[in-house]
Amino acid sequence: MNAGQILICAVIAVLAGFVGGRISNWRKRYTQADADTFADVAGQSPAAIPGRVIAREFVLVDKGGKKLLEMTADEDGGTSVRMYNSAGRLRLGMFVAPDGTSNLAICDSAGKLRLGMGVDKDGTSGLAMHGSAGELRLNMDVNKAGMSKLAVRDSAGELRLGMGVDRDGTSGLAMYESADKPRLMMSMTNDGTPGIAMRDSVGKERLGMGMDERGMPLLTMHDSAGNPRLGMRVVKEGAVGLDMYDSAGMYRLGMGVATDGAPGLTMYGAAGKGGLGMGVEEDGTPGLAMSDSAGKLRLGMRAVKEGGSGLDIYDSAGKLRLGVRVAKEGTPNLAMADSAGKQRLEMGVDKDDDPHLVLIRSQDRAWAAP
């Protein structure tokens, strides 16, 4: 049984108890004189018994003259039925306003409203429960568009918990520090995407977590200004990543492991360009790259799996100008290129430890020195 069914059963039980109590009390007060009166009426002809009573107001009182029930047609077109206890305090009221709004109110023995329900003129239905001091503690409604909401309040009437389902199926829950300060929120979109957000005491989001439309988990942490500072994610293919941002929310550092198992780290400048990147490829080859503020690669180095290593230096146009290599056998080599990227100089030592130098002119004619 859900919460709505429990509440409806509780209301029915209250009304049933009220009606049952009235019947029991009526039976106790039922006297022989009353029986004789009913017998007299029963013995009359149908024509002598009034078929209906037409009035704008009907008041039922006890033998002492205290009002117990009042039915009224108001001047503005509204109607109401009120029932009172022996102390003259309202216990139950039913009202229909001129605009069609209908309400039911149930009060305690002191006349304080404890439960109210009704339907507005626009079709919104609602239920409200009040504390012993008359303060609103719980209210729920379903509006004309089909959105349903429930709000739970503290003893001061401040909203502390709210939940609802939108007409598109999106559901949500929020917990409040006070009426205007939600601190924790959970949601589920109509496509099944969940999310959780936490806010600080001034309403800034500090932590968010959830899953994207592909079902991949995400986590983001924010600073006191609400800027993202750290993010973690796992993608469907199995890659994982961690991102860090500066105080302005600019992406500055990222690290992770690719789907093939290769780890990597990247650092960026303040403008999001330039920086340093390093990683290890799937075959175990490590590498490092440096870029300038324009994002152009300026330096790269790597060590190959077979044992060789290399370093490359690039100009501002991104053209390779100098390269240094050490082969697996340990032979070093250096090459230089001009601004067009054409190799112009090469020098090194071969495996027999013999040095060599090669100069290449622009006409591609070379001069070699032993």
CATH 3.30.365.10 fits 55-137, yes or no: no
Rounded CA-CA distance 103/87 in Å is 24
Domain edges within the chain: 55-137, 277-370
Per-residue pLDDT of the chain (370 residues; tens, 9 = 90+): 333 333 333 333 333 333 333 333 333 333 444 444 444 545 555 556 566 778 889 999 998 899 999 999 988 889 999 999 999 999 999 999 999 899 999 999 999 999 999 999 989 999 999 999 889 999 999 998 889 999 999 998 899 999 999 988 899 999 999 767 899 999 998 888 899 999 998 889 999 999 887 788 999 999 999 899 999 999 867 889 999 999 988 899 999 998 888 899 999 987 777 789 999 987 788 999 999 988 889 999 998 777 889 999 999 988 899 999 998 888 999 999 988 888 899 999 998 889 999 888 765 544 443 3
Q: Which numeric CATH code is attached to 277-370?
A: 3.90.930.1
Burial class (CB in 10 A: 0-12, 13-18, 19+), 269: middle
Query: What pLDDT was estimated at residue 159?
Result: 92
Q: Are 130 and 114 in contact (CB under 8 A)?
A: yes
- Tokens representing residue 158 in the block: 């401040």
Q: What CA–CA distance (Å, rounded) separates 312 from 318?
A: 11
Give the pLDDT score at 1. 38
* 55-137 against 277-370: fold identical: yes
Res 26: pLDDT? 33
pLDDT value of residue 369: 39
Give the Cβ contact number of residue 176 at 10 Å: 20
pLDDT for 307: 80
